[in-house]
Amino acid sequence: MSENLRQMLDLGLFWEYRSILLAGLAFNFYVFAASASAAIVLGFLAALARVNPLRPLRWLGAVHVETFRNAPDYVMLVWVHFVMPLLIGQAIGMRVTFAPFVSAVIALGLVYSGYLAETFRTGMQAVPRGQIEAARACGMGGVLVMRRIILPQAVRMMLPEAMNNFVSLFKATTIVSLITVPDLMYRVQMVTQQEMRPLPLYTGAALTYFVLIWAVAALARAGSERWRRKIWA
């Protein structure tokens, strides 16, 4: 057992393969960046639909949010990768396939648009009605009220929660290896099959993700708190 323990702590093997593995980590960032952008846009639209006075739009927004927020990441990933191309293919009468990267971005973008929409909505609705009426009384139109009064405050208020959402999204990018996007976890698996030494490789991967996510989360938390404090002392 102590031999095994030594092996686990001997991260030399992980270090040996560092360039391949780091290139894998880059894929986590690509997937993260692309799906985060998609999730922000979609989530904002869904949140707008949910605070809209038009009932059918509100309803549509609610369905979007409840579907994707309650869908497990992995299930969505598999569904988007294997079912969505078939459905599109049937609709346009052509054979369609998604590259794994594309499926990963669509699936994670959809799921996290659900979480973000709720975060956005909570932020928007936290702006007191009176302030919106004051803006309307000054003659501001809907777009101006949203852009100048609601959003600047909503963004500050929802920032900590949005940061949590983004951290979760980054964690979720580790499952894209399951549809063969060559990220860090995928490469760890490949190297493991070659070297037959899972201990240092999986431990190295776990520690890498831990240090990275923990540091980024702590920074994000501190940063967003400070920005909030500036206004609401």
Partner 1 sequence: MADPAGAPCVEVVDLHKRFGALEVLRGVSFAVDRGSVVSIIGASGSGKSTLLRCINYLEQPTSGEVRIDGEPIGIERRADGSERRRSMREIGRFRRDLGMVFQQFNLWPHLTVLGNVVEAPIRVRGLPRRQAMELARACLERVQLSEKSSEYPARLSGGQQQRVAIARALAMQPKVMLFDEATSSLDPELTGEVLEVMRGLAVDGTTMIVVTHEMGFAREVSDRVIFLHGGLIEEEGPPAQVFGTPRSERCRQFLAKLLH
Partner 2 sequence: MGNWERLVWNQRNVLLDGFLVTLEICAIAFAVAVAAGLGLALLRLYVRPLRWPAIMWIEYCRATPIYVQLMWVNYVWPEILGWPTTFYTAGWVALALQSSGYLAETFRTGIENIGRGQREAAYAVGMSPLLTFRRIILPQVLVTIAPSIVTQFTVIVKSSTLVSVITVQDLMFQSQRLVNVWFEPIEILTATAAIYILFIFAVSAAGKALADRLRLRYGLGT
Which residues contribute to the site for partner 1 (CB under 8 A)? 128, 130-131, 133-142, 144, 148-149, 152-153, 156, 231-233
Binding-site partner at residue 135 among partner 1, partner 2, none, CB < 5 to 8 Å by type = partner 1
In sequence order, which residues have a C-beta less than 8 Å from that of residue 173 and are 6 or more positions away?
28, 31, 32, 35, 104, 108, 183
Closer CB to partner 1, 149 or 176, in the complex: 149
Closer CB to partner 2, 138 or 222, in the complex: 222
Least separation in angstroms between residue 161's CB and partner 2 is 13
Least separation in angstroms between residue 136's CB and partner 1 is 6
**Which residue of 13, 62, 213, 220 would you call a contact of partner 2, by CB under 8 A?**
213
Alpha carbon 121 to its chain's center? 17
DSSP reduced 3-state for 181: coil
Binding to partner 2 in span 15-44, by CB under 8 A: none
In the block, residue with structure tokens 């994707």:
68
Closer CB to partner 2, 6 or 18, in the complex: 6
Count residues near partner 2 (CB under 8 A): 40
Least separation in angstroms between residue 137's CB and partner 1 is 4
Q: Rounded to the nearest 10 degrees, what angle do helices 55-69 and 100-125 cross at?
A: 120
C-alpha dihedral (67, 70, 71, 73), degrees to nearest 10: 130
Structure tokens belonging to residue 219: 């920074």
Binding to partner 2 in span 138-197, by CB under 8 A: 171-172, 174-175, 177-178, 185, 188, 192
**In this structure, how many other beta carbons lie within 10 angstroms of the beta carbon of residue 145?**
19
Least separation in angstroms between residue 205's CB and partner 1 is 42
Q: How wide is the angle at C-alpha 203 spanned by C-alphas 201 and 204, nearest 5°?
A: 65
CA atoms within 13 A on the CB side of 200: 18
Per-residue b/e over 57-70, b at no fewer than 16 CB within 10 Å? eeeebeebbeebbe
* C-alpha to C-alpha distance for 230 and 66, rounded to whole angstroms: 34
Binding-site partner at residue 231 among partner 2, partner 1, none, CB < 5 to 8 Å by type = partner 1
**Which residue of 45, 48, 78, 151 would you call a contact of partner 2, by CB under 8 A?**
78
- Residues forming contacts to partner 2 in the complex (CB under 8 A) are 1, 4-5, 7-8, 66-67, 70-76, 78-79, 82-83, 86-87, 171-172, 174-175, 177-178, 185, 188, 192, 198-199, 202-203, 205-206, 209-210, 213-214, 217
